[in-house]
């Protein structure tokens, strides 16, 4: 054992080393001081101390200034809280305000304790718990939810949530908001004087996704094989996102196998367009179903369901109101982030028509309206605003989102489509308490007619899970943009589809016929699964189909009597039919809503056996589905390999006017070499 002198030396050494602080940059200091002063002024203007509304007879606190310097001012939190509630009642949202204040302070005490008293494992347990129970009422029994709730004072909900956390009263945020609007002074407890001494924690700690990786992905275990006799009905929501494919591409091009969790097979399949029949008649989309042999198993069949949305003439588009919400936080300062984003948006501008309007809101240390609503024809002004964007500061996402929605609402006129396009590298986390609360906000805005799309940029801390949550709940698309050509595909070639929904809440349900199909497996769509009963429930949200967009889904089915049946028949299970066996394989049902409608329409179509050889289109889709499953490490492919995928993709490549399919083959080759070099 060492003696005390050594201990002393160690500490002295540590002390000396800790004194050797690296020189700081003067520019950073000046920038920080400037931000502080700006935020100080903004707080003043925004009524941190006085609100210039006729509601409030007397300004609170501000004029008294120094008089209050040493006086106990325990009234202030109360005044702030009540005035906030009044403002909410008016429907005025004052944004730009850094996300905390005295009314949010109470929970810090618990938080500090929790940090001290709990070890890391307990903390992470809490995180997991929260994550798995998004709708669990926020009661102050675990410390973590309290931290979440109290860090955000921009949002009306959270004022009240913080209060709830203190008073241990569970309530959904929406109900709580109604209470607040009703004028109930529910925030009083939050102002308890002994709780406001300690500083509120930082708003950076909002995202509650667990997981050690820098990049976070939303995914589920691959869909298992289902036995038709036991579970004949398969239900899922459509998905037109393509983020996963772009992500996989980027990984492979960087010489790394993609994280299996980042692979969502349906998004890879849907990245490509297929030659489907165009819709005729009243239904805004056409469905086509083909059945062919499965490439990786000659004893099963691949059922290929294609949905093609109609493409209205560009001139018939209603005017668009776009609000770009651009992340300009410090982390966006990389060539593949902000500069690529600016270039991408420039590309997109050329696709807009003169009557469309564009506004730009940025969020970083301070959220701000960089470009007021401007006609798309005024491209000089828009370009100038884009050119002036620069990255710096931390993220104030919720404030930015609030402001973007506010701008969108200002721009909205009858018959126009409003959409917020959020561009971020994933660090979207300040202010909103949790993904779940963010979801509530976005749902509310979606129902009021403003949709949200999300574009992901860069590598390093992309938060795929959050992107998915945001876009799925905002009726929008989530795309990952890694190159200018991807920007072109997403924002130019598919602009109309991405921005103009033609059918909402599109749900797909397939009922398989146990007399024909012994087993089936939906390939991909794990994150889009719906409950069987949700199909007919118009309240349950599902994916949208934009103008001209396509949705492709693949089932691998095992015919009755095939050598590939994996499960033995039940001795007592199969009740003998009366002999009238239908030779349909299954029955396809689709539900969709016309844009703006609440009631869904039903489209039905039988799936019949077809012995036609696989078309080029079906082959290519199968090759991509196989490729995706290889990347995920699926058990169902046997010894089918990347080489087989390459051969199949090449056979189905077709004309490939844009080169997307050729690129996919290149990626398969990369994956093949990378997987062998392991």
Partner 1 sequence: MRMKTSDEALAVAAGNGDRDAFSVLIERHYDRIYRMGWRLCGTQADAEDLAHDIMAALPAKLRSFRGEAKFTTWLYRVVMNAATDRARKAQRRARARDGWGEDYKSRAAEAAEARESYEWLSVAMRTLPEELRQTVALTLGEDLTQKDAAAVMGVSEGTVAWRMSEVKKHLRTLAEKEAI
Map the footprint of partner 1 across residues 190-219, applying CB under 8 A.
196-205, 207, 209-214, 216
- Contact pattern from residue 233 through residue 252 relative to partner 1, giving x for each residue in contact according to CB under 8 A and a dash for the rest: --------------------
- Considering Cα of 66, then 70, then 72, then 77, what sign does the dihedral take? positive
Query: What is the Cα–Cα distance from 40 to 35, expressed in whole angstroms?
Result: 8
The least distance separating partner 1 from the CB of residue 466, rounded to whole angstroms, comes to 12
Closer CB to partner 1, 99 or 341, in the complex: 99
Closer CB to partner 1, 24 or 677, in the complex: 24
User: Strands (DSSP E) along 139-295, which ranges?
Assistant: 226-227, 233-237, 285-294
Q: Count residues contacting partner 1 (CB under 8 A)?
A: 86
Binders in 40-69 for partner 1, by CB under 8 A: 40-44, 48-49, 61-62, 64-66, 68-69
The correct pick among 102, 295, 586, 652 for binding partner 1 (CB under 8 A) is 102
Residue 334 CB coordination number (10 Å): 15
Residue 197 CB coordination number (10 Å): 9
The correct pick among 45, 55, 113, 675 for binding partner 1 (CB under 8 A) is 113
The correct pick among 15, 121, 132, 677 for binding partner 1 (CB under 8 A) is 15
Query: What is the Cα–Cα distance from 677 to 663, expressed in whole angstroms?
Result: 21
Phi/psi at 118 (5° precision): -110, 145
Burial class (CB in 10 A: 0-12, 13-18, 19+), 179: middle
Closer CB to partner 1, 108 or 246, in the complex: 108
The correct pick among 2, 132, 580, 677 for binding partner 1 (CB under 8 A) is 2
For the chain, how far is it from start to end, CA to CA, in angstroms? 45
The correct pick among 295, 393, 418, 626 for binding partner 1 (CB under 8 A) is 393
Closer CB to partner 1, 80 or 243, in the complex: 80
The least distance separating partner 1 from the CB of residue 259, rounded to whole angstroms, comes to 12
Spatial contact of 527 and 264, defined as CB atoms under 8 Å apart: yes
CA distances 356 to 274, 373, 418, 496, 535, Å, are 30, 10, 10, 12, 36
- Contact pattern from residue 142 through residue 171 relative to partner 1, giving x for each residue in contact according to CB under 8 A and a dash for the rest: -----------x------------------
- Picking from 156, 42, 40, 153, the residue whose alpha carbon sits closest to that of residue 92 is 156
The correct pick among 55, 90, 92, 115 for binding partner 1 (CB under 8 A) is 115
Spatial contact of 433 and 444, defined as CB atoms under 8 Å apart: no
Closer CB to partner 1, 113 or 175, in the complex: 113
If one asks whether residue 128 binds partner 1 (CB under 8 A), the answer comes out as no
Q: Which run of H or E residues covers position 645?
A: helix 642-651
The correct pick among 80, 385, 481, 506 for binding partner 1 (CB under 8 A) is 80
Binders in 367-386 for partner 1, by CB under 8 A: none
Closer CB to partner 1, 17 or 657, in the complex: 17
- Picking from 155, 132, 156, the residue whose alpha carbon sits closest to that of residue 145 is 132
Phi/psi at 504 (5° precision): -105, 160
Residue 561 CB coordination number (10 Å): 9
If one asks whether residue 399 binds partner 1 (CB under 8 A), the answer comes out as no
- 550-559 and 478-481: which strand pairing? unpaired
Which stretch, 3-11, 176-184, 522-530, 614-622, contacts partner 1 (CB under 8 A)?
3-11
Which stretch, 33-41, 267-275, 282-290, 381-389, contacts partner 1 (CB under 8 A)?
33-41
Q: What letter does residue 224 receive in the DSSP assignment?
A: P
Closer CB to partner 1, 31 or 540, in the complex: 31
Query: What is the Cα–Cα distance from 23 to 146, expressed in whole angstroms?
Result: 37
- For residue 239, the cross-strand partners are none
Q: Specify the long-range contacts of residues 43-50, CB closer than 8 Å, at least 24 apart.
A: 43/97, 43/98, 46/94, 46/96, 46/97, 47/83, 47/87, 47/94, 48/80, 48/97, 48/101
If one asks whether residue 131 binds partner 1 (CB under 8 A), the answer comes out as no
Closer CB to partner 1, 217 or 236, in the complex: 217
The least distance separating partner 1 from the CB of residue 117, rounded to whole angstroms, comes to 10
Closer CB to partner 1, 208 or 305, in the complex: 208
Closer CB to partner 1, 42 or 304, in the complex: 42
The least distance separating partner 1 from the CB of residue 129, rounded to whole angstroms, comes to 16
The correct pick among 52, 57, 58, 72 for binding partner 1 (CB under 8 A) is 72
Closer CB to partner 1, 59 or 279, in the complex: 59
Q: What letter does residue 506 receive in the DSSP assignment?
A: E
The least distance separating partner 1 from the CB of residue 33, rounded to whole angstroms, comes to 6
- Residue tagged 């701000």 (tokens): 368
- Residue tagged 């009597």 (tokens): 561
Query: What is the Cα–Cα distance from 552 to 306, expressed in whole angstroms?
Result: 5
Binders in 304-363 for partner 1, by CB under 8 A: 330
Spatial contact of 524 and 265, defined as CB atoms under 8 Å apart: yes
Q: What letter does residue 110 receive in the DSSP assignment?
A: H
Closer CB to partner 1, 403 or 477, in the complex: 403
Binders in 610-649 for partner 1, by CB under 8 A: none
Closer CB to partner 1, 330 or 354, in the complex: 330
The least distance separating partner 1 from the CB of residue 593, rounded to whole angstroms, comes to 37
- For residue 152, the cross-strand partners are none
The least distance separating partner 1 from the CB of residue 433, rounded to whole angstroms, comes to 14
The least distance separating partner 1 from the CB of residue 602, rounded to whole angstroms, comes to 43
The least distance separating partner 1 from the CB of residue 97, rounded to whole angstroms, comes to 7
Binders in 455-514 for partner 1, by CB under 8 A: 461
Extract the tokens encoding 672: 């093949």
If one asks whether residue 26 binds partner 1 (CB under 8 A), the answer comes out as no
The correct pick among 270, 301, 429, 472 for binding partner 1 (CB under 8 A) is 429
If one asks whether residue 100 binds partner 1 (CB under 8 A), the answer comes out as yes
Which stretch, 38-46, 338-346, 444-452, 652-660, contacts partner 1 (CB under 8 A)?
38-46
If one asks whether residue 112 binds partner 1 (CB under 8 A), the answer comes out as yes
The least distance separating partner 1 from the CB of residue 72, rounded to whole angstroms, comes to 7
The least distance separating partner 1 from the CB of residue 603, rounded to whole angstroms, comes to 43
- Cα angle 46-49-51, degrees, rounded to a multiple of 5: 55
If one asks whether residue 14 binds partner 1 (CB under 8 A), the answer comes out as yes
CA distances 659 to 230, 274, 663, 666, Å, are 43, 13, 6, 11
């Amino acid at each position: 054992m060492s003696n005390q002198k050594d201990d002393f030396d160690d500490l002295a050494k540590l002390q000396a080393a800790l004194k050797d602080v690296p020189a700081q940059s003067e520019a950073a200091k000046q920038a920080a001081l400037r931000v502080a002063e700006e935020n100080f002024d903004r707080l003043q203007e925004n009524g941190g101390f006085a609100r210039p509304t006729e509601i409030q007879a007397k300004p609170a606190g501000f004029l008294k200034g120094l008089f209050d310097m040493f006086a106990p001012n325990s009234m202030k939190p109360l005044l702030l809280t009540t005035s906030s509630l009044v403002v909410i009642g008016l429907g005025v949202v004052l944004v730009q305000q850094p996300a905390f204040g005295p009314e949010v302070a109470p929970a810090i005490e618990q938080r500090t304790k929790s940090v001290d008293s709990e070890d890391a494992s307990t903390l992470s347990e809490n995180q997991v718990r929260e994550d798995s129970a998004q709708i669990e009422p926020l009661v102050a029994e675990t410390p973590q939810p309290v931290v979440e709730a109290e860090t955000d004072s921009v949002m009306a909900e959270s004022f009240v949530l913080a209060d709830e956390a203190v008073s241990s009263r569970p309530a959904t945020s929406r109900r709580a908001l109604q209470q607040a609007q009703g004028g109930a002074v529910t925030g009083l407890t939050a102002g308890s004087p002994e709780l406001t001494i300690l500083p509120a924690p930082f708003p950076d700690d909002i995202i509650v996704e667990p997981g050690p990786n820098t990049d976070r992905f939303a995914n589920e275990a691959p869909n298992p094989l289902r036995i038709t006799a036991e579970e004949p009905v398969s239900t899922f929501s459509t998905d037109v996102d393509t983020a996963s494919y772009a992500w996989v591409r980027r990984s492979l091009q960087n010489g790394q196998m993609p994280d299996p969790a980042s692979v969502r097979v349906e998004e890879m399949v849907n990245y490509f367009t297929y030659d489907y029949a165009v819709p005729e008649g009243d239904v805004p989309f056409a469905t086509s179903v083909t059945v062919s042999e499965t490439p990786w198993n000659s004893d099963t069949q691949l059922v290929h369901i294609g949905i093609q949305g109609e493409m209205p003439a560009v001139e018939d588009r209603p005017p668009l109101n776009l609000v770009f919400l651009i992340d300009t936080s410090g982390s966006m300062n990389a060539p593949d982030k902000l500069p690529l984003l600016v270039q991408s948006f420039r590309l997109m501008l050329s696709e807009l028509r003169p009557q469309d309007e564009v506004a730009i809101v940025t969020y970083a240390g301070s959220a701000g309206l960089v470009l007021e609503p401007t006609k798309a024809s005024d491209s000089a002004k828009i370009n100038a605003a884009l050119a002036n964007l620069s990255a710096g500061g931390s993220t104030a996402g919720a404030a930015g989102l609030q402001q973007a929605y506010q701008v969108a609402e200002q721009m909205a006129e009858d018959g126009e489509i409003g959409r917020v396009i959020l561009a971020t590298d994933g660090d979207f986390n300040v202010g909103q308490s949790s993904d779940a609360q963010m979801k509530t906000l976005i749902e509310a805005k979606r129902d009021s007619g403003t949709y949200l799309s999300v574009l992901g940029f860069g590598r390093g801390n992309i938060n795929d899970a959050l992107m998915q949550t945001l876009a799925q709940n905002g009726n929008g698309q989530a795309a990952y943009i890694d190159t200018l050509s991807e920007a072109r595909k997403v924002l130019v070639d598919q602009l109309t589809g991405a921005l103009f929904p033609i059918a909402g809440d599109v749900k797909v349900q397939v009922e398989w016929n146990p007399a024909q199909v012994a087993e089936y497996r939906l390939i991909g769509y794990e994150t889009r699964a719906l409950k069987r009963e949700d199909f007919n429930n118009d309240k349950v949200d599902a994916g949208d189909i934009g103008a001209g967009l396509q949705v492709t889904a693949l089932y691998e089915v095992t015919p009755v009597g095939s050598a590939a049946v994996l499960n033995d028949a039940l001795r007592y299970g199969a009740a003998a039919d009366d002999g009238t066996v239908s030779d349909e394989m299954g029955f396809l049902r689709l539900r969709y809503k016309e844009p703006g409608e609440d009631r869904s329409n039903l489209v039905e179509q039988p799936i019949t056996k077809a012995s036609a050889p696989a078309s080029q289109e079906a082959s290519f889709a199968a090759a991509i589905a196989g490729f995706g499953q290889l990347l995920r490490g699926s058990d169902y492919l046997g010894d089918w390999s990347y080489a087989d995928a390459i051969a199949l993709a090449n056979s189905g490549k077709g004309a490939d006017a844009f080169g997307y399919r050729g690129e996919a083959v290149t990626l398969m080759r990369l994956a093949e070499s990378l997987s062998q070099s392991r």
